[in-house]
Each structure stands twice: as C-alpha cells, then as structure tokens.
Chain A
Amino acid sequence: MMQQISILLVVLPLLAAPITALVRGKNLAWLITFVLTVVCFGISLWILMDVTTGRVIHYELGGWQPPWGIVYTIDSLNALVALIVSGIAAATMLYAPRSVEKEIPDHLIPMFYAMFQLCLLGLLGIALTGDVFNLFVFLEISSLSSYALISLGKNRKALFASFNYLILGTIGATFFLLGVGMLYAASGSLNMADIQTRFAEFENLQLVSTALMFIVVGIALKAAVFPLHSWLPASYSYAPSTVSIFLAATATKVAVYALIRCLFDVFPMQYWLEMLPTIMITLGSVAVIYGSVRAIQQTGMRRLLAYSSVAQIGYMIIGIGLINESGMTSTLLHLFNHALMKAALFMVAGIYLLRANSTELDDLYGLGKDMPYAFSAMVIAGLSLIGVPGTVGFISKWYLLEGAMQTDHWGVVIVILVGSILAIAYVWKLVEALYFAAPQKPRVQNVDSGSDTIAKSPMLMLVATWLIVIANIYFGIDTELSLGAASDAVRSLLGTGA
C-alpha cells in the first residue's frame, strides 16, 4: 500500500500538468496546482514518517526487477528531500495567485502552472529515484521547465538570464550524462545499488575515475557550487517571484542531494576520499566568502539574496567535504533549513515586487515602515540566515562548526565565523534600506495606474510567508523531525551503524 502511494508523488503531477495546461481559467489552474502540491506534501510527510523507522521503500517501475528495471528506493534522505520540495511547493502555491496574476500574461497562466507542476515532478523524481539514468531524465525535466519558468519574468533581462541558464544547465546535464555513460560502459548497470555492490570489479578502470569527475562537475554546475554559479544570480533575480521562491528554495538543494547520492551511494566513499574532500572544503570556503561579499555589494534585494544562496551552498559543500557525522548532518539539515529561510526571504521580496513594482533597494527605501508584517517576516528570516540561536540557521551552523572542530579544520571554523559576520552585514543592508533610510519620492511611473495593489499586502501572501517564518523558528527549537531524518540519513550514508 505504502509503495503504491510513494509513486503517486511522481504520477500525480504527471497527470495534473497536461490537464492544467488545457484549463482556460486561471483560478481553476491555480486550484488544481494548489490541491496537487498539498496532496504531495501530505504524501511525502507520510512517507517520511514511515521511513524514519528504518524501513526502506522499494518500488519497481513496470514490475521490472532491478538492476534491469528502474527502481525507486526511498530512505530517510530521499523522504527528507521530497518533503522539502513538496512543502515549499505547497507554501509557494498558497502564496502564488496574486503575484502570478500580476507578473504573467493572462493567457499564459494555465501554462505557467502546468510548467510549475512539471518542475515539481522533476525535482520529486530526482529525490525518489534509485537509478542514475532516471535521475538524469528527471534533472532534465526540472531544468527544462525551470528555463521556461524563468523566461516568463516581467523584466526583459529574464529572457537573457534564462538563456544563459539554458546554455550552462545543458552543459551541466551533458557532463552528467557523459559521466553516467562512462559508468555504464564500465559497469554495465545504471542501478545505484547494483553499481555500488559490484564496484570492486571495475574500480581500477581509468573510465570510472573520469566518470566520477564528469558526474561531479555536471551536478556541481546544477547546484551552483562556487566557480560554476554564474547562472544563478541573474536567473533568480529576474524570474517571476513565485518561480524564484520555489527554485531558490528547492532546485539547488535537490542538486546538492543528487551530489550526495552519487558520491556516497554510487561511488563508494573510499574511492574519492583522497581527492575530493580537500577540493570541496576549499571551494565551499571560497564560495562562502565570495558569495557573502558579492551579496553585500548588490543593490537589488533579489540579487542580494541570490548571491547569499551561493554562499549558503558553500556551507553545504563544506559539510560534505568534512566527511564526518556532524558535517554531513549539517549539510542535510541545511538543505532543509536553507530552503525555509530563502523561501521566506524571496516571498518577502515578492511582496515588495507586487506592491512597489521593484526590488531595487533604492526604490524600496523606508517601505518597511509601511509594511510591518512583511518587514518583520524578513527580519526573522534574515536572523535565521545569519544563524541566530532560536532559528533554524543556528542549528545547521552549529553542527557545521562542531564537524569542523572535530576534524581539526580550523580554517573552516574561521570561514564560518567570517561568513556569519558578512551575513550580518548584508542582512543589515536590507534592514537599513527598508526601515532606516529616508523614503525617496515615490516613482510614479513604476506603479500601474488605477490599481490598489500598493495599498495593502494580499492576505494569502502574508499567510504563506508567515507560515514559513514560523517554521523557521519552530524547527529551530523542535528539531526532532529535521534532525531525526538527517541523522538517520547520515548513518546510512556513512555506514556508521544503523
């Protein structure tokens, strides 16, 4: 029973997307998407509850036995990632209707929602599958739909950003596929578990180490790991707000998950232990500092948040590179926690975009005073981004520090502290512009004439934002769900007892 329900996470969006694309009314399209995301959220919560007891769900597609057929293996890590994706999708959809109405032309709205569902389908598929080629297919489904989603942004630069992402994303996908192809040539199998068990048979082949490099570089591009991050800031800052919320909170996280899955469950850890960790820690550290410094320099709210994402991905990569239980736990926790913070912050940015038609900081001077609910939500999410105790950001940073100290990486400890101070600086920059700076003369040409959108923030948007903000605090205090799933997953990844 549970098995058949688990596949619904992929099947339901697949059924709903074409139906939504054919629907005429924008409200109906939204309703279908909203119900779908809530159902998916419910299912993944249920699955997570089921697998944290140590059970692993296996699902053979089409009834074909692995290693020949495609199999979905769902353990706590898969379930945690699926929960993040579907949870953020549900919150985004609660938030969406007003913002989509404003940013997307009416006749494209059903298509927009259909595309959103396809993106959800791809991300959930990556989270569930136990087959490397299937992972590539879902990676492409989610990427292709996100190119289209980003290009729908109102600003003309959205098209350029989307095209840039398309080129780089395709290169990333190609690298990944080449890697998978080489691995298939060496092993004759695409099933993750099968490749891992028979790894000793072909580990001496040159082909296998080449495959590893291609796979790592390909996924790192998708995850926007430091030198390969250049597509991210433009895409997130010109995409429609709904899209930037969803993608910022989930897309890179899912790619980081794919990286973890490939490194630990396709290639055995011993195989790359000598080369990769140092590279990962170095690149992660550079990402933290570089991303934060660039974030401070930005003059647009969404661009600032996007650069901060680059820095936060750095923390996750450091966590993997530390190869110890606390470091790994912090990475997995940060997948969850960072999704919560960034979703909240981009939601606030979306509210500003709706009401002030801009997310450039100098257009927003002093607006925080007029929009207390949105502003206070931003402050709390910002504190969480810095890592103040009592918020989720603190938990993951704490584990990361612990992991760095246990493994004597004192450089990393300094990077984390400096990164946090820089985070204070860029969050303060937002607070200062929105609250303390003197309001400038309103730019009348930016406001649609005759609309009252500037008068008050839509209720649904505020509710969704505050739900996420409350989750930021709740999971900072009661870590049972997130930490439980994360440490369970870490134990199975590192193979340190069940």
Chain B
Amino acid sequence: MLQRPDILPPPEVERASVTPVNKRETRSLYKARVKIYPKRVHGFFRSLKWQIMAVTLAIYYLTPWIRWDRGAGAPDQAVLIDMPARRFYFFFIEIWPQEFYYIAGLLIMAGIGLFLLTSTVGRAWCGYACPQTVWVDLFLVIERWIEGDRAARIKLDSAPWTFDKLRKRVSKHTLWVLTGVATGGAWIFYFADAPTLAARLAHFDAPPIAWITIAVLTATTYMFGGLMREQVCTYMCPWPRIQAAMLDEDSLVVTYNDWRGEPRARHQKVQQETGQAGGDCVDCNQCVVVCPMGIDIRDGQQLECITCALCIDACNGVMDKVGKPRGLISYATLKDYNASTRKAPVHTSLRSFIRPRTIIYVTLWSLVGLGMLFALLTRDRLDVNVLHDRNPLAVRLADGTIRNGYTIKILNMKPVPRDFTVRTEGIDGALMTTAGSAAAGAPRLLVAVPRDVVHVLKVYVSASPRALAETETPLRFVVEERGGGESAIYDAMFARP
C-alpha cells in the first residue's frame, strides 16, 4: 500500500510492524524459539491482573508466617505440612495420613471448580491465577524495569556487547535468580516452622533438604519464568488441551470481532474518501505486541491463547484514540459472536453463566464440599487397630487357661491427652494384662494416651477353655473415652492351641 503522508491516521496511534511469532502458518515444529517482547499495556484487565498477582503472591509468601495457637507441644503454624510427624495442619483442622481423602476431596473440588470456571469464563485460570502466568508477569516486571519496554529490549538484544549491556544483563539475571531463591525459599516454610527455619537458614545450618529444595525451585522458577515462559504453556502444560476441550459456545473467550473490524486498514480516511467499506481495525498491531504468547488474536481462538485479555486493553486504548467504540477485541461467547455476525441482537453474556452444564458443576462441587464439611465436622478423633500375635497364636498357661497376645494401637487424634478404658466383649471371663506388668488380670484396662499420638499397647488376654469355641472365638475390643466421649471397636479373633 502506498504511504501517503498527508492522510496518515492520528499520530497518537502507535503502530508496530510485527509478525506474531506463534502464528500457525509461520511456525514450524522444528524451528527454534523466536523471542517474544511483550509490550507494557494499561487498562482494566491489566489492573485486574496486577491485583490478582498481588493477592496470589501475598498468599504464597505470607501464609507460612500466620501463627495459630494449638496449645503446648503442638506446632503453632497455621498451615504446616509436617512430613516427619506425618501431620497436616490447616488452621483449626489437623489431618492424619489416613485422612488423606480430604486432600483427594479438595483436588476433586479443584477439578470441578476448574470445569465450572472454564465453561463460564474460559481459560481464566491460565490468564490470571496460574503460577506460571503470575511468575512470568513478575519476571517481566523486572525485565522491563532494567532493560526498558519492548522497543528498548529489542534494541538491546541486537546491540553489541558493551559495559552497559553487560550491566543490564547481569542485574536482570541476578534479580531473576533472587526471585527464584525467594520463591523456593518460601516454599520450604510450608514444611517446617517458618521462623525457626528462617533463623537456621540465616545461620547456614538448615538441613540439606532445605537447601536442595531451594536450589531446585530456584532453578525451575528461573527457567520457567525467565527463559521458557510461553513455551511452558504451549508445549509442556496439559491444561490448554483439557481446558480447550471444556469450552463450548457459551464460554467467554477473548474474541476479535471481525464482523466489526474487517476489512482492516491502516488508512481508513483514504477508504472513507474513496468510498470503500472499512472495518474498525486500524491494523496497528498493538494486540500483537502486547501478547505474551506471541499470537495474533485476530487469527481467531488458538491453543496458545491464555486469555490474559491484555490485547483487549491494548485495543480499547487504540479505539479510544481513534474515536471508535471499545470492544473490537472483547470477551465474548461463540453464541454472541455468531449473533453479532448475523447482526442479530446479542444477549448479555452473563446469562450464559446459568445453564444445565454449569448447574451440574455447581451441584457436584457443592455436594463434594458439603460432604467433606460434614465428614470433617463429624469425623472420629479416635481409632483403634488390633494386631493378633501370630507366633505363637495362643499359649496354654499352667492353670489351663488360654492366653492370646495382641498389640493394640490407640490413635488419639485430638490435641489433648485422653484417658481410655479398654475392655473385651465376646468371651466370658476374659482377663487382660499388659506386657511387663506384674498386675493380675483385669476385665478392663485404663490407658492414658498422650495428645496426638498412636499409643501402642501390648496386651495379653486370658480365657478359660470352657468359654471358648472349638477353634477360633470372635473377640471384640472396645475402647471408650473415660467420662463419656468417643469410643471405637475392633473385631479380632481369639485362638486356642
């Protein structure tokens, strides 16, 4: 097209001559990565993303430092995954390893929640909340701060090595590595008492696993956030495939409204003057240069698009400048887009949120959530396991009674010490003694169990042969909290020689 200086569009519209690096037609599978230089953008979605980034990073970095008093002897960290002691603490909830199904339930809820989110607002997880997106944003902030915006960075990359370039590169990578260290450093605080571990790190006497974890996470953060960036989403992550399959004609996706924008033209005034039909798109390519994924949204919905909506912000800015209505690129459902194309009235997209599919998701999500809440509120904090001695199964005593040995494990999952009585049912006159005790047999044992432990008790049960069946007799152990409270049973067998 001829350049006619007298009819250039208003000068405030910045233009870029750029080819999207991830355009389907130009991208070969065997091609090396072409670097993307996302340009800074201002607007509603960018602000939203800054806010979400602040909240998610704050949650990540601050959570381990929240204190929660659980009484003496118990950790006072609100969220703690205590691997050596095999406990998971989450504020008022304490989870033992055998209660791991709560975590499974949370994962199911997260899965259904993602389905719900995707079926309504599309790949919002990718665009706003995914750690990869958040950390790439963080790394880009650092890069922009040191090397400048897109144009400056392109220039710096092609510039010869000077002291200034070296200084910028060294500072950038140093800050990136430090960000990685901070990321990995925060991670380990979830697995140990944060202040203690921080002090040990400061004195360089933290356990090796802490240093190794920090090193590994520093390396991955630096590589994923600084070097690999959009490749993680495009090539490594399974979510784009799954999430893309979750989309339907009622899901919001970032859409270029080509019914309004095409035919795009740089020189709209010329077209208007010559009577040609012109679209709203001024072909300034601002949507391309701000895209962190290196695509052109005007090519339509693509796998690479994480729906970060930065192109919407960029385009809205341009539309404001050229005096056209906003929303040439917008969040729209396929239904709305098709209706608009046919010039049919568009219903507000929010109505698409309520439909059978989302209702089913919400119902499932709530059911799992309520079920877990119910289970959590009514869960047992006492459990008992009994192991019958196998060798020997039974012993005949001098007075002719038969004795069986059992290892009783009483799980006191409450953070307070409790007293329990242990008794048996099923065999008349059965008496119990504990190993190593000189006391005579008794029908009940009183057991004091410390807080939050598995208490192991070796017990001998003796019974007269007259009270026993020919081979094996069912024997039930009943463990009851003293003074009312929880009780648990275990059905075991009593053997005779």
Task: Say whether A associates with B.
Answer: no
Interface residues of B (CB under 8 A from A): none
The residues of A with any CB-CB pair to B shorter than 8 Å are none
